[in-house]
Structure formats: structure tokens, C-alpha cells
Structure 1
Amino acid sequence: MTNHRGPCWAPLSATGTKKLHAATHNPRPTRRNDTTGSCLSPPTRPQQQATEARPPQTRFDTRRAVGPAPAHTYPTSGRRSSRGHEYTRPSRRILSPGRPSSWFLKSETCTLVEAFVFGIADSVRDRAVSSIKPAERTGVVDKVVDVLAQAEAILERCPPEDTGSRFGNPVFRTYLDEVDKALPSWHAQLGLTDQPQVDEISTYLAHSFGNKRRIDYGSGHELNFFLWLLCLNRLSLLPPSTFPALALTVLPAYLRVMRKIQSSYYLEPAGSHGVWGLDDYQFLPFLFGAAQLLHHPYITPKSIHNALVLEEEGKEYLYLDQIAFVNSVKNVDGLRWHSPMLDDVSAAKNWAKIEGGMRKMFRKEILEKLPVMQHFLFGSLVKPVEGMSTEDEAGVEPEEQEVEGGEVKVFDDEAGKRHVHANAGWGDCCGIRVPAAVGAEGEERKMGVGKALRRVPFD
């Protein structure tokens, strides 16, 4: 079949197929140049030559648009213990714009992080969640999932206070205190008992549930979770053979925990772009989810607007599952209203375009963004670039005590809620604060009106 482009991709009837077959075996000159890509121009080259130049494609076959896998050479590492290796507690090293940030982007560590994340994305191309084989779900993968289940169980011991506020619930700090207490035992279940080793690796997991002082969560915390998995990979606990399970077994378990935390404690989005962002909290489900759907025979980018597709296929595909969750926590109906960027992405011609865009976005919006990377933690397994200043040398507080990049201050308000104050220029402190969608939806649900307001007033 000749590769037609753009809106000309359409299923052919039996009659149309016969005509196309005859046309390709009996080429004849036309008034149009075939290089224009017009759907009305039959091929002017012999069938054999055309086949070599352009492999046959069906309507949803985007293999021609998919480039080769990222050319990252993923470095492997043997299992390490405290003996012969000096572990350090991770700390921030990108403390100012300019050289530290540019150094990181050209470093082996940046290449390592990209290779790890993109390697996981490559491993789940055209795979559903249920396709994970027992050999890919090793004992360590099961233990990681069990650790996340225990983190979820702590929620029952730390019920949120009914403050009547749509903003972050202060009991979240109590939850993180309980998580800190459980970290040594969780890592012991993974076979890690050397204290310096556990101190370094557990720091990434501790910072993957949100910020204790600001009571917020964002893509930087999500990245910390995958840095934790990267550390386990560097210890040979999670070899590349487990990469499909990391995306399709471990990530769904992590998302399940985080969604409960977000809806229980109303975590505020960290560095959110509002409706003009991809999502308030997550990014990687969209990257891995697009890879899953790369050559799907009938789920197209526009399928995210079909509620039936989301309901039936959401459990198998991360992209659809995340869209369904976003829809469930917004108090207006329709992606075009509450998530216009996701709505725009759905206009892409195929999933290859979306996956390629997500890879670029991971670098541009996460690895190259100072508001995210100023909280990136470097240790002995995720090494800093030589010459980067330490927190002590820069005279800044540790991550646990630091406020938003030193640009704003944090105070306790009259209700005891610690929050960020910006210099807005008026006497009303922070002006009008915008709550997270999960907080707004949660409080409306308590009042029994959460499902009543589903349309914007002017729609």
C-alpha cells in the first residue's frame, strides 16, 4: 500500500483495495508529481522499487515516523556495599542559574538519568499492563510494590483533619514522619542494611511523596521516585530486564499511593502552570503511556475524549488512566476547559508524534528547568559535576528546611497552616491563592455539590 499522508489516511473498502492493487502493478504517468504527497497521485515507480523506498503501512501504522531508540549507552554497575565505596547523603548542588545547570546538562549524570527513563519507555513500546511476564517481575520488583503498599497503609494511621480548607492538610507532615521511621525496615526488605548505603538511597524515596514544609507535590518528586529506582538499578537490584515491570507494575502502584495522598491531604501542585500545564502533578505516565500506545490498532490520540475507551482500556494503558484520573478530579467537564494542553496534544497525527514530544518535554520542562532542578539531589550513585557548590558553601539550608528557591518566605497563618508568602505588592499577604483541583473537588464532595457543577457557566 502506498504511504498516504495526513488526513488522507483512511481505511479502504474491498473495491478500493482492488483498484489500488491494480494501480500499483500497472503504473501510468499522471499529471501530478507523486512527491507532492497528494492522495490523488498514484505511484509512478515500479512496485518493487516503491516497496524498498516505502514499506506498506496501514492507517494506524506509524513505524515510519518512529525514529531509532535513544542512542544512550546505559552503564551497568555491580552491587555495592559500604565496604570500598563511600556513600554520602544526597544534597542539592544546582543552587543558582547559569553554570551549575549547564554543567549538569552536559554531564554523565544527566545522560544516565535520560538513559534510565528513556530506556524504560523503550521497554514498554506496544505493551499493555497485563503483558508483564513473571520473569520480568522479579522478587525485588514485588518487594518494591510491597513497600508502596506499606506506604499506602500508613495513610490509615494518619487521617486528615477536617479543617474545611481546600489547601494542604497539616497532617501530611505527620504522614511523612511515619514514612521516615519506616524507611530502614523497607530497605531491609530489599536486602539493604548498611547504614550509610540506606541513608543515601532512602533519601530519594523520602522525597518522592512531597514536600513536608510546603505540603506540595510535583514532577520533581516524581523524578525522585525514579532516582530511587535508579539507585537500586545501580546496585544491580533492578537490572534492565525489569524495566517493563518498573513502568507497568511499579509506577501504577506508586500512582495509586500518590493519588490517595493527594486526595487525602490536598497537596498543592509544586510549580504548576495551571490549566496550561500538562498535569498538576505527574509527567511520566504520559511518556510511558504514549510508548505503550505507539502502534495501537484502534486507540488513537483523539480516543482520550471517548469516555468508553477510557473506562475499558484505562487499566491497560497509563496515558488513558492518567487522563481518566484528571477528568475525575476536575469540577468542569471536558479536557478543552480544564486541561487545554492535553486537549491540544490529542490533535497529534499519531502516538509517535506524542511520544517524541514527551521525550523532548522531559528534558525541556524538567531537566532544563531551574525551579525543578534546584531540588535535584546528588549523592555517590547520582554524582554531581566536579565544581558544583555544596549547600554549606552556598550558605543555603538543607532541602528539608529550604523554602521555594529562597525567593519567598514561609510563615504559619492564623490556622497554623504553613504556607508560602510571595511579595505580591498588596497588604493581603499572598493575594488570592489557588487550591489544587483535588482539594476543590474533595471539599465540594463533602458538601454534596461536587458532582453538580460539571459545566462552565458560559458553555
Structure 2
Amino acid sequence: MPSPKKNGDRAGATRWTGADWSSCRGESSRVVEMIRISEMINSSANTAASWQTVAKAKEDITYQHPTRRILSKKDHHLFLASPTYNLLTAFVFGLSDSVRETTVTTVQKAERDPIVNTIVKILDEAERLVADCPAEDAGGSRFGNKAFVTYLDKVESLLRQWHDKLGVTETAAQDDVSTYIFHSFGNKTRIDYGSGHELNFLIWLLCLNRLDLLPQSTFPQLALVVFPRYLRVMRVVQSTYYLEPAGSHGVWGLDDYQFAPFLFGSAQLVHHPHIRPMSIHKPLILEECSKDYLYLDQVAYVNSVKNVDGLRWHSPMLDDISSAKNWEKVEAGMKKMFVAEVLGKLPVMQHFLFGGLVPAVDGMSTEEETDVAGEMEEPEGGQGQVAPEGGMKHVHDHSGKTWDDCCGIKVPSAIGAMQEMKKRQGGESLRRLPFD
């Protein structure tokens, strides 16, 4: 199936098509090497062994407040060759591998670890906070709603209480761990949300794992109980405050906001007897099976919030991927894409936070050395700076006036557009996720 023309692509955005999905040719030898390392870490046969190799003992950890450390291309290259990179990929791919050929219903009906129930209750509370912080009347604007700032302030006020419930009571440990969940809800200055914020949520789970609170036996519950609950919270937040997509690639991105549902969801569908990658074009399959498979649910959700019909037009990358021969190809491609398009992209990783549980390596810059604002302090409109190389600072441009914005195209939320249209037409709100 031919795809729409690529006019207006953001400069530097990689086009992933069905034809080269299994080969996943990178833009450079660095990406090829990243893929090789990730595949070595991430095969089902050695994920457990890799996890044991890269995970440190609790007593070896020195807590510290997480800050930005990827402030130049050199810093990014250091990260890609670091033990922390191996730790992160082993954890994320370990979650993915733990739910291969597994349905949401199977895991949700099984007995849960008590701490998993505690995390779900924390996320329940995070969703209830939305009702306490109603969106401001913005005159029909589809851009981020300022009430989101109040929402994040309320989240911040509950961080200590939440972590006390989890058994993280030491002040330094709380500061280290809680920073990640706080940053997983979006940026209060830019009022945006993207795969980098989603990654912060996974890093929060990684931190709890490193504190021996979430053993490897809980991984299926994290992927198919905890993560779907977080996903539902974020859909409510996005639909209420119209969070702008962070670093959007326009229609040429996989999704405006999320990546992990496609990674975990493709693993779930491996060896499925009748659901094929092309099945995402069948409304009945999406309706009947989305409750059990994150990939199908995310596709159904994307369809529901776009104001044009057909993946070919609003999500051509998902359309391209559907031509893959089987789910094994899709799963492998998603892992490679996570390495190349999330961890391998400076615009995403320049916002990544390093602390004591997820440490930076020697030689990486600090915010103090480069005079860069903290992640939540970066002013709206492009005053934040990173130094790509040679100490020459680069100013973010979030003005929305250029196509080569280093952090992607500043675009209004598709959810915001759909919600405003429904308000004008008196239609219903967005459907709820089928996860409880």
C-alpha cells in the first residue's frame, strides 16, 4: 500500500517503513552498534542473565537528586556506551519479554504482589487529582491548558506520602526515586508530554526494583497491570489539559505520546494463532481483542482521537508496520526502534535524569558546568540550552515557527482538537480504557 507523501517531514526524523522494518537500517554506524548491543542484551534466552549482570546490589547505591547530564553530543555518546544504558535496556526489554504470548486478562486475574496493589492505588489517586484541578476555560484553544500546572503541584505535594506507602522512607532515597514519577506526568512549563515522560515512569519502576521492592517475578504485573493503569491516567490527563506532544514528528511518528504500549503489546502477540499485524485494520478485531492486547488497544485509541479516518492518513508509520510478516518481526522492530528513536535521539534524551539509582558516568556534563536550567525550569519559548559539541550552546526553539525545531514540531494536541470538536457538537467524551 503506498503511503502519503512525505511533504513537511521534520528534519532528522527517521522513516521506518514495512519494507525495511525487519532490517531496521540505522542512520549511522552508531545506531547499528546500539542495535547490536540491544539485541545481545534483549534476546529471550539471556534477558534474565543480563539483568543479573547489570543490576547492582542495594548497598552499593549512593542516593542523589536526579539532574540532566546529557547536555551535549559527547554526553549522549558516553551514555550509549555506559552501564546505565545496559541497565535501562535490560530492564525495559525484560518487562517486554516477561509478557510474550500473555494476555492482560491472564495477568490481571492472577494473584498480585502487595506492592503492585499499592502502586495501582497511587495511580488511582493521581487520576482523582484531575477532578480537583479542572481545566481552565481557554476559549476553545487546542494547546496546553494552564491548569495542568496546578495538577502537577498537587502531585508533587503527595510524593512523600506515596513513597512512604511503598516503604521508601529514607529522605535521600525518596528524593532520588520520586523525581522520576513526578516527571512522568509531563512538563509543567511547556505543558507537554511524550515518550521521554513515559520513559521516566519506567525508570521509576526500575528504581523500585533496584531497592528490592519490585523483584523480577513482578515484571508481568508491571507491564500488564501497572503500566496500563498509568496509561489510563495519562489519557485522562491528556484529554483534560490538552498536553502538547513533546518532540512530535507529526504524522511520521509512531504515536504522539506513547511508545511502550507498542513494545509490550507486540511481545504479547508473538505466535498468536489468528491475529496478524494486518489485523489492526479490522475494527471488529480491535473492538473484541483490545482489552487483552496493549498494541491493539493503543491503535484503537489512536483511531478514536484522530479527526480523519484510516491509519494510512493519520498514522502512516503504524500502517507501514502492519505489512510485517508476523509479530516476531514487529517485536524485534519495536526493540530496535526504542534503541534508535528513544535512547538514540538527543532531543529525547537531553531531558533524561541521572541520580544515584540511575547513575551518570564520568565525563558527562552537569547543569552547573553548562549553566543549563533544570528540566522543570526550562522557560517556555526556547531559552533552555544544550551544548552539542565544542562548548557551543544551542538554544531550543519551541516557538513553533520552524520545521527543524530541535525538539520536534510544536503542534496542538490531537486529543485537544477532538475534544473541542466534541464540545462544539455536544458529543461524548473519550472512551475509558478497558483496564481496571
Superposed CA deviations along residues 361-393 of structure 1, whole A, max 9, x for unmatched, are 000001110001101100111010111121101
The Cα RMSD (Å) is: 2.1
Identify if the C-alpha distance between structure 1 residues 135 and 194 changes in structure 2 by more than 3 Å, giving closer, same or farther.
farther
The match for 1:421 is 399
**What residue identity is the alignment partner of 1:141?**
V
Confirm or deny that 1:131 pairs with 2:106.
Answer: yes
Which of 141, 144, 165 is the aligned partner of 2:116? 141
The match for 2:80 is 105
Superposed CA deviations along residues 78-118 of structure 1, whole A, max 9, x for unmatched, are 555xxx85311000111011x21111111110000000000
SS in 2 for 1:447: helix
Q: Give the superposition deviation at 1:68.
A: 4.8
Which of 313, 316, 320 is the aligned partner of 2:292? 316
Report if aligned partners of 1:69, 1:122 keep a CA contact under 8 Å in 2: no
Superposed CA deviations along residues 154-204 of structure 1, whole A, max 9, x for unmatched, are 001001012120100000000000000011001011011111110110000
**What residue identity is the alignment partner of 1:318?**
L
Report if aligned partners of 1:89, 1:200 keep a CA contact under 8 Å in 2: yes
**What residue identity is the alignment partner of 2:149?**
R
The match for 1:228 is 204
The match for 2:134 is 159
Superposed CA deviations along residues 320-353 of structure 1, whole A, max 9, x for unmatched, are 0000100000001111111011001001000000
SS in 2 for 1:400: helix
The match for 1:428 is none
**What residue identity is the alignment partner of 1:435?**
P
The match for 2:266 is 290
Identify if the C-alpha distance between structure 1 residues 297 and 108 changes in structure 2 by more than 3 Å, giving closer, same or farther.
same
Counterparts of 1:389 and 1:156 in 2: how far apart (Å)? 40
Identify if the C-alpha distance between structure 1 residues 104 and 240 changes in structure 2 by more than 3 Å, giving closer, same or farther.
same
After superposition, residues 56-67 of structure 1 pair within 5 angstroms as: none
**What residue identity is the alignment partner of 1:74?**
W
SS in 2 for 1:132: helix
Identify if the C-alpha distance between structure 1 residues 316 and 381 changes in structure 2 by more than 3 Å, giving closer, same or farther.
same
The match for 2:66 is 90
Report if aligned partners of 2:95, 2:223 keep a CA contact under 8 Å in 1: yes
**What residue identity is the alignment partner of 2:130?**
L
Give the fraction of aligned pairs with identical amino acids, expressed as a percent: 59
The match for 2:38 is none
The match for 1:27 is none
Which of 348, 354, 357 is the aligned partner of 2:330? 354
TM-score by length of 1: 0.76
Identify if the C-alpha distance between structure 1 residues 108 and 251 changes in structure 2 by more than 3 Å, giving closer, same or farther.
same
Counterparts of 2:160 and 2:113 in 1: how far apart (Å)? 21
Which of 330, 337, 357 is the aligned partner of 1:381? 357
The match for 1:434 is 411
Which of 250, 256, 276 is the aligned partner of 1:280? 256
Superposed CA deviations along residues 32-64 of structure 1, whole A, max 9, x for unmatched, are xxxxxxxxxxxxxxxxxxxxxxxxxxxxxxxxx
Counterparts of 1:229 and 1:433 in 2: how far apart (Å)? 30
Report if aligned partners of 2:108, 2:224 keep a CA contact under 8 Å in 1: no
Which of 363, 367, 381 is the aligned partner of 1:391? 367
Counterparts of 2:167 and 2:294 in 1: how far apart (Å)? 30
The match for 1:24 is none
Which of 57, 81, 95 is the aligned partner of 1:120? 95
The match for 1:210 is 186
Counterparts of 1:89 and 1:274 in 2: how far apart (Å)? 34
TM-score by length of 2: 0.80
Superposed CA deviations along residues 412-451 of structure 1, whole A, max 9, x for unmatched, are xxxxxxxx325659xxxxxx96311101101101100779
Q: Which runs of 5+ in 2 are unaligned?
A: 1-41, 386-393, 404-408, 429-436
Counterparts of 1:359 and 1:102 in 2: how far apart (Å)? 19
Q: Give the superposition deviation at 1:70.
A: 5.3
Q: Give the superposition deviation at 1:132.
A: 1.4
SS in 2 for 1:342: helix
SS in 2 for 1:272: coil
**What residue identity is the alignment partner of 1:353?**
K
SS in 1 for 2:204: helix
Q: Give the superposition deviation at 1:137.
A: 2.1
The match for 1:265 is 241
**What residue identity is the alignment partner of 1:89?**
H
Higher RCO structure (Cα 8 Å, ≥6 apart): 2
SS in 1 for 2:375: coil
Report if aligned partners of 2:245, 2:411 keep a CA contact under 8 Å in 1: no
The match for 2:51 is 74
Counterparts of 2:121 and 2:424 in 1: how far apart (Å)? 35
Range that drifts further, 273-282 or 398-407: 398-407
Q: Give the superposition deviation at 1:69.
A: 3.9
Report if aligned partners of 1:77, 1:235 keep a CA contact under 8 Å in 2: no
SS in 2 for 1:73: helix
Identify if the C-alpha distance between structure 1 residues 338 and 69 changes in structure 2 by more than 3 Å, giving closer, same or farther.
farther
State which structure, 1 or 2, has the greater radius of gyration over its C-alpha atoms. Answer: 1
Counterparts of 2:275 and 2:155 in 1: how far apart (Å)? 39
